[in-house]
Structure 1
Amino acid sequence: MRTSEHDNLWLRSYQPARQDSVQLVCLPHAGGSASFYYPLAQALAPQVDVLAIQYPGRQDRLGEPAITDLHALARQVFEALRGRVDRPTALFGHSMGASIAFEVARILEQEEGVSLRHLFASGRRAPSAHRHERVHLEDDQTLVAEMHRLDGPGRDLLHDDEILRMILPAVRADYTAAETYLYQPGPPLRCPVTALVGDVDPKVTLDEARAWGEHTTGPFDLRVYSGGHFFLSAHQASVQTAIADLLVDGRASSVSLPWLR
């Protein structure tokens, strides 16, 4: 297995896991960071080895410029992962992270011949379900209002001007990447895909989530939860159980998942 300084910048492993465990690579939402998945790593270890991606421009990578092109971001994630997919690997992405996970899955399957265990696409419309969005072009006040509207984790920090000055460049870069992303038609995935969505998510309709099934020749499942864009906060246990059941035959499904406090 290959490691490098580049890998260390991108990859975060929070809990020890068995050597034969499934590896679940988790990609954060716009404005999110790897630590978003720390509770998930706690809940699923040691049966599942959660490996979280840290994008540039936040937390310990605050001094690096954030990436505004989703395809370029996916390519960088792939470069960090190649050489580490020598065991069963699945991908989980929420919101923007789901689009990145999809593009990384395409590269892994098509260029590396990797047989992925699963792709979990949470809170994001299918790649082919395009919307014309322009929040990334609006002023800071509008961008902050959008973050409040989605009611995501860390929303209380949005009232702190100093913190806002620190995080807004990465948030705007992420919104740029997510909103300018265009799906490039190509062969569908081969791995199973599970789409997870809130039933009143303003960013995803049920039809847009169901369209994920068009992007794989493998099994597809749509799981609908009550709630909005961050429905995960109200459905911690059931989402964790779904992941565990699909990856480790339910062996971790009795563990509670304290996400998004």
Structure 2
Amino acid sequence: MKAWLICIDDTDDIGTKGTGEIAEEIAAKLAPKSHVDGQQDVRRFVTRHQLFVHPDIPYTSHNSAMCFQVETDLDFNEIKAICIAHLQQESAAASDPGLAILDLASDYDIEQLIAFGQQSKIAVKTKEQAYKLAAELGVDLSEHGGTGQGVIGALAGLGLRLSGQDGRVKGQLTLDAEFDGSKTIQLSVAQVLAQTGLQTVISTCGEVLSHEQLLNLKGKIKAVYIQHQFALLVSNDSGEWRNANQQQLKAY
């Protein structure tokens, strides 16, 4: 069984199915078993990576790519065929879908890939640059409709995920059955990890909280990818640890 990192970009349009949802569907097709020892396999989480917002870059609403990892016995040709078929079926008519597939066991220059991703957050990149780098690194990069502009974000998303310091996990986490977000609930770090399958709880200052630390949680509970781990991001508010707000999450 091999591990693959897959990223898609520019598959949606206003009022259509989002790219994140399409990514989740592809991941489910490639590796249907999403639970390990009764818990969700966090490696399968889809991460949203924010790219540069600029007048020269066409995008639907936020210009973000969606990336996920799968472990499967399928070979490369089977993986790519499944990805393409789903993209062609689910992508919006006006979209410009891009697909990037990386064999994580291959010999590629991770620093070059990370650098491309980080540059794509602050500068306009071209399809030519993306294809050239993908060819050099052995990343399979392909376009599947429209202008194919999504190949830039798809390649960038791989690099940002590999950096281990970028990305918001798609969707919100499910906690105690009685928790609906309207009232504050207090849980220990250990309880949060057990209920969500996350790997750690980290503060906005980079501090890893102990399992005994108490958290006061309210509203939407979102996770991020930081320090190469899927984590709940929290901040200290008057001596109490609270889940990060929308503004604090924007950095990811």
Give TM class, smaller chain. under 0.3
Q: Quick check: which one's strand share is greater?
A: 2
Q: Quick check: which one's helix share is greater?
A: 1
Larger radius of gyration: 2
Q: TM-score, normalised by structure 2?
A: 0.26
